Structures are given as structure tokens and as C-alpha cells.
Amino acid sequence: MLGGVDFPPADEPPTTTITRDLSCLRCGYSLRGLARDALCPECGDPVSRTLVGDVLAATPLAYRRRLYRGARVIWWAGLGAMILAMGGPIVIIAGASQGLPDQLVGGCALVAGFGVLGAVVAFPIGWFILTGPDPSRLTRTTLDRAALWTRVSVIVGAVWFSLNIAGVSLLAGRTTGIIELALSFLPLMLLGWHSWMAMHYVSLVAARVPDPRVQQLARTRRITVTLWATLGLFLCGVGVIAAPILYLLVIDALRAALKPLALAER
Ligand SMILES: [Zn+2]
């Protein structure tokens, strides 16, 4: 009672201790019963940091910069590979039909080829930067598991791609019809798997920004990009163009969401 007016009870009692079940974000220790301004008895992290929630703003600036850098490398590598892989042949064909010297057309092809190769090398490097561990977490989380499997999908894809570039066929002349048929679907399965893992990981990072729009976009694209990268390839090859565009737009949305966090002073 204050001045004859009844105040409704607040949702949370004005207590200085944690009255609900709450695990320390850094180490997982139960913080119930501890003061809000205390330090976690297990790892020494401030309880207030867990109360703020699992947000990137509470992680070291170096980690946020790493995420931003990773997203930028993937974006530029992907964009470069797409432009060169699609634009290169068009320029070469146009050049040949216009009667340009063979040496000039050949030079263009060489530059485009090396450009694609550079982008293809930069792409997995970008993913390794983006999937680096958060140093402010001591326990393994859903994010860490997603990061690990995204990395595995990138490595397997890179190995498969390199072997193909080198013209190596692991099972040439040693397979029967059924195995050969199953193996012919292997690249599709790899593409689908990576698409799913990549979009899943981005949605988890976006949740920590927090950016619900990018998070939801990536969650939806787990299905759409995976479908375009697999079944979409049979639709007159539309998937070859649709899958990377939809994929890269998600990476670009994440890059934009991470930018203010990476450029923040603290
Ligand atoms: Zn702790």
C-alpha cells in the first residue's frame, strides 16, 4: 500500500537472487540461489552475463570479428566462383564468334579458370573461419555440433571436388552396375548434406545476433536450398543457378547482421 493505492504484484519478485532454474552459459553450472551480481562458483564468469542471454554481444570482439570475416570470405568466394563460372564461357563463346584472336580468348579462359580455382580454395577457408569455436563457452553446445558437421561436409566436398578436378576415378572399372548407380548420386547427396548443414549453422549464429529475420530465413532455406541443390538439378539444371543464389543470399544476410557486432568498440 502506498498513498492508498494497491500496486499489482510484479511478475518477478524484486529479489537479488536467482529463483529459477538457470545454467551458467559458460560452463553449465546451476546458478539457482546465487546472487545476480555474483560470480559463477564453477568457472568465475559473472552471473549477469548468463542473465543477459546467449547473445554475441557478450562474446569477445575477436570472435565476433572472426564470424564476420568468415561470412565475408564465403560470400566473395561464392559470388566470384558463380560470376566466373557462368560469365567466363559466355565471354569466350562471344569472343570466338566475334572473330577475336585465339590467344586473347585463350587468355580469358585461363584467367577465368584460375579465378574459379582461387574462389574454390577460398570457399572452404571461409567456412573454417565462420565455424571457429566460441572461446567464451566451455561446454559443447548445439552450435558446436553444427559447426563440426558443417566443417566435415566442407572437407568431404572439397576432397571429392579435388579428386574430380584431378580426373581421378576411385572405382574406375571395378564397380558393378548397382554400386556405380549409387555412387553417381554421391555428389548430389554431398551437396544436399552441405546445404542443410550450412543453412542450419547460419540459423544458429543468427539466433545469437539476435536477428529473428535472418534466423528464420536460414531455417526455411535449409529445405529450399537442399531441394534445389539435389532434385532441382534435374529441372533442366535450374538448380545449378537457383541453389547457389539462394545459398549466397543467406550468407549475405548473415554478413550484414554480423557487421555492427564486428565493428563495435567492445
Ligand atoms: Zn560457470
Which is more confident, 180 or 222?
Answer: 222
Look at residues 53, 76, 99 and tell me which one is the last residue of a structural domain: 53
Shared domain check, 48 and 67: no
Shared domain check, 109 and 48: no
Cα–ligand 1 centroid distance for 95 (angstroms): 64
At 233 the pLDDT is 82
CA 188 to chain CA mean position, Å: 19
Query: Does residue 7 lie within any of the structural domains?
Result: no
Cα–ligand 1 centroid distance for 33 (angstroms): 14
Shared domain check, 93 and 157: yes
Asked if residue 124 lies in contact with residue 186, where contact means CB atoms within 8 angstroms, the answer is no
Total domains present in the chain: 2
47 — pLDDT class (breaks 50, 70, 90): very high
Shared domain check, 147 and 42: no
At 138 the pLDDT is 85
Cα–ligand 1 centroid distance for 134 (angstroms): 15
Q: Is the pLDDT confidence value at 244 over 70? A: yes
- CB under 8 Å to 52, separation ≥6 — which residues? 58
Q: Lowest-pLDDT range, 73-82, 98-107, 148-157, 240-249? A: 98-107
What burial letters (b/e) apply to 155-191, b meaning 16+ CB within 10 Å?
Answer: eebbeeeeeeeeeeeeeeeeeeeeeeeeeeeeeeebb
Shared domain check, 67 and 43: no
Shared domain check, 219 and 89: yes
What average pLDDT does the structure give for the chain?
A: 87
Q: For residue 28, what are the domain limits?
A: 15-53
Cα–ligand 1 centroid distance for 59 (angstroms): 14
Cα–ligand 1 centroid distance for 30 (angstroms): 8
Shared domain check, 172 and 145: yes
73 — pLDDT class (breaks 50, 70, 90): very high
Shared domain check, 141 and 49: no
Asked if residue 118 lies in contact with residue 109, where contact means CB atoms within 8 angstroms, the answer is no
What burial letters (b/e) apply to 36-73, b meaning 16+ CB within 10 Å?
Answer: eeeebeeeebbbebbeeebebebbeeebbbbbbbbbbb
Which is more confident, 66 or 163?
Answer: 66
Q: For residue 84, how many other CB atoms are within 10 A of its CB?
A: 20
User: For residue 43, how many C-alpha atoms fall within 13 Å in the half-sphere facing its CB?
Assistant: 18
Cα–ligand 1 centroid distance for 50 (angstroms): 9
Cα–ligand 1 centroid distance for 138 (angstroms): 8
At 173 the pLDDT is 57
CA atoms of 264 and 166, how far apart (whole Å): 44
Cα–ligand 1 centroid distance for 186 (angstroms): 43
Shared domain check, 163 and 36: no
Cα–ligand 1 centroid distance for 36 (angstroms): 13
- The pTM is what? 0.85
Q: Lowest-pLDDT range, 152-156, 171-175, 259-263? A: 171-175
Asked if residue 105 lies in contact with residue 90, where contact means CB atoms within 8 angstroms, the answer is no
Query: Does residue 5 lie within any of the structural domains?
Result: no
Cα–ligand 1 centroid distance for 35 (angstroms): 14
Which is more confident, 104 or 126?
Answer: 126
Shared domain check, 239 and 215: yes
Q: Which pLDDT tens digit goes with each residue over 130-140?
A: 999 999 888 88
Cα–ligand 1 centroid distance for 140 (angstroms): 13
CA atoms of 99 and 66, how far apart (whole Å): 48
Mean pLDDT of 158-184: 72
Q: Is the pLDDT confidence value at 183 over 80? A: no
Cα–ligand 1 centroid distance for 47 (angstroms): 8
10 Å CB burial of residue 81 (0-12, 13-18, 19+) is buried
Strand-pairing partners, residue 113, are none
Cα–ligand 1 centroid distance for 62 (angstroms): 21
Query: Does residue 217 lie within any of the structural domains?
Result: yes
Query: Does residue 40 lie within any of the structural domains?
Result: yes
74 — pLDDT class (breaks 50, 70, 90): very high
Shared domain check, 114 and 182: yes
31 — pLDDT class (breaks 50, 70, 90): very high
Cα–ligand 1 centroid distance for 63 (angstroms): 19
Shared domain check, 194 and 65: yes
Cα–ligand 1 centroid distance for 216 (angstroms): 30
Asked if residue 27 lies in contact with residue 43, where contact means CB atoms within 8 angstroms, the answer is yes
Query: Does residue 2 lie within any of the structural domains?
Result: no
Query: Does residue 178 lie within any of the structural domains?
Result: yes
